[in-house]
Structure 1
Amino acid sequence: MSLIDPLSVPQLAARYPRAPGRVRHTLTGHRLLGYDALAEAARAMPPAHVETRVGNAVDGEGFRKVEGAAPPDETIAAGGTLPQWTMLRYIEQLPAYRALLMELLGELAPVIGPATGAPRDVKGFIFISGPGTHTPFHFDAEYNILFQIAGDKIFAAYPPAPPFLDLAQREAYHRAGENMLDWTPDFAAAGEQHLLGPGDALFVPHAAPHWVRAGDQPSVSLSVTWQCRTSRAVADALRLNPLLRRVGLPPFDPARRRSAPWVRAAAGRVGHRVGLL
């Protein structure tokens, strides 16, 4: 039995890689994605890769870790009913989950491969969100498909360009890993909002800003992310920008140029190796 509904694959092909695209899946009820299995996964992972954050943050500053709470595996096993957000980061380090991620991407290879090449740096994240949990406005410099397993959530995606995401914010991510973004009420009506229920999945373009809110029931989602040769080149070119400014040359801006910055990327890798960046 396919994990991805074959009838929805052509719909994704019409959107990938530039625009959000929906597909249907059959992961609901999968043995690795129930609460008991996820609690066991949490116990098997390094503690630093299992984190719990508050569920009512309105911005990145307020999206703080919960200290002194019950162990994450216990709250997961209880069904994720607390008003908080728990993430299993880098779930691919567990072999069974790694196999699941690769099986999913294998079924999407006819869409991904021709457009962006074979996926690289595949990573997996599982989110267990209490009712009403809000993930503030942020972006991830990777391609992403979010599979909704239990409960429902609203996922609002925005273009990876000003005013939602500017060059300074992109550079900050590749310099220090900072991915939270400033939110203004004017943005509310501009996002492409998707209501996701069990069996729904949403492709999110590379670096597309977004916010997420869980519905009235506990939510479980699986996020599969990856890079491609071009996205790696973009990252290398962005790291070169500070040096270019110092010598009076214009920086690379992905929002202004869609073609891959191969020469700048190569220079950025060399600069990093010799300690200039």
Structure 2
Amino acid sequence: MAIGGHPPMGDRTPQGPLIIIGGAEDKEGNCTVLREFVRLAGGTKARIVVLTAATSMPREAGDDYTRVFERLGVEDVRIIDTEIRDDADKPHFIEDVQQASGIFFTGGDQARIIELIKETTLDKAIRQRHAAGVVVGGTSAGAAMMPDIMIIEGESKASPRVDVVDMGPGMGFLPGIVIDQHFAQRGRLGRLVSALVQQPANLGFGIDEDTAIIVNEDELEVVGSGSVTVVDESGATYNNVEHLLADEHLAVHNVKLHILPHGFRFNLKTRQPTVPQEEKPIPPVVQPV
């Protein structure tokens, strides 16, 4: 793979915000991450649809999120359970999405979201609402599916190798990047780097549990109890991926790394982090000569 050949990320088309959650978000305490989703969906006047396509236990997941969203003051929570692909064409599901002010994907297996929803009538309705300004959120598998090329599965706690990670088409809500979740908890830096050097995206976000990035156009903000690890491979000067066998270790030079806790921001266009105002260092006092 040629170094430096990736196109830079341009401005995102104006649309609703994204809330991309690293999984295992707090549902019993203050619910910081889910509280932000509800706020962006309209607060107590929100109309939220929960899509359970990713999980093999849709009833349990649907009940769980109904309970937490209702506890946060939402009176209208509807579950969209697509057990088979034909369910994604059901008129009452489409109507629920068309009336929603917040659209939320649960965790599970991200490949199921692609199999059951992508390029269906339901998918079209979701994209129309997002383009109209409606917030779209997802946790765990619902986070992994956000890019156009997503991590399907891969080894945790492994050094970067070609065979560490499998990639495939995602939903494309946030193209040109790679998302990994349960990041610090499962030691996934190696597989995120492996994913970045093997496909066109060169900007990756590793999101810890109970932590999210809120994406508004070209800027994102971190919320939650953990951190987000940003890996920027756009300035890399070397990798050896073209010369490796599957089980051999990758070499990558001059990759940028940022660690962003709650309140910190990152600009997708400039690829620069922003320090919260109260955290900015005080410039040194220049003594007169």
Q: Compute the TM-score of the two structures, normalised by the length of structure 2.
A: 0.25
Higher relative contact order (CA 8 A, sep 6+): 1
